[in-house]
Structure 1
Amino acid sequence: MLETGLINKQDLSELKNSLEHLDQKTFEEEIEIVAPFENYMDDAKNAPEIIKCECINLL
């Protein structure tokens, strides 16, 4: 997406910043409401950290 210009490094920086300030308790409550399939539960719960790490790698 960076290569195509759909997003830029400022967008990634803002996303990373938002994830750093995410209310983890509320996020986990929302995951329980959405109730993903059990085999996706770990990915769902770890999604903010996974995305934040990828943002850091791209910045």
Structure 2
Amino acid sequence: MRITIDTDICIGAGQCALTAPGVFTQDDDGFSALLPGREDGAGDPLVREAARACPVQAITVTDD
């Protein structure tokens, strides 16, 4: 699994960090970011739910 965040459309709603806090966080400007070493989701079952919760669909989850 690979997770990408389109920082050009992220509005910093934080739904991803609330849904899957073991994978997502917010940077100093309030925008979504992946925790270091979590680019593959680290097996977190809530990653796809976090992507669906994004109000602007800035998160993409793809299977390798």
TM-score (norm 1): 0.23
Q: Which has the larger radius of gyration?
A: 1
Question: Structure 1 or 2: larger strand share?
Answer: 2
TM-score (norm 2): 0.23
Question: Structure 1 or 2: larger helix share?
Answer: 1
